[in-house]
Amino acid sequence: MNPKLEQAVTDLSAQLGVTGSPTTTPAVAEALGARLAQRLRDLSPTAVVVGDNPDDAVLGHVVARETGATLTLLELDEGLLTFYPRLREGDRVVLVGYDASRQVSAATAGSAIAAAGATVVGVGSVVGTDDEDGAIVSIGLTAAG
């Protein structure tokens, strides 16, 4: 996690009454993941898809646990997108991450998810950044169906 993003996540978690770094303090992922899951729960996801990195995997684990969904890693390897474990046909997928702009684009992921026979029902991100210079432009928990 880059320092600017880590500071934004640390500041946000402090607003929730949890102090520490998102990379080294499990309570941060717990608090933020639980809050994000509240916003995604009404979408009735059966799978939570996250980028293949430790920070998003831990956050996604909390969201999956809190929503009753399974956790699936999305890996980009030499231009090929793969899911581990595989998505099931008919899965209702939410894409989750600390910073949605760090992920494979939702459109690209959505195409791969559709090819697997599943449907993207929402995207959840803790913070957002400006693609051009990486500046934090919004801090807050977001979920969109």
Domains of the chain: 3-144 (3.40.50.2020)
Pick from 49, 52, 68, 76: nearest CA to 60? 49
Is this model's pTM higher than 0.85 or not? no
CA distances from 130 to 34, 107, 108, 138 (A): 25, 18, 19, 9
Residue 130 scores a pLDDT above 50: yes
- Choice between 131 and 24, residue whose per-residue pLDDT is larger: 24
Of 1-5, 21-25, 96-100, 122-126, which one has max mean pLDDT?
122-126
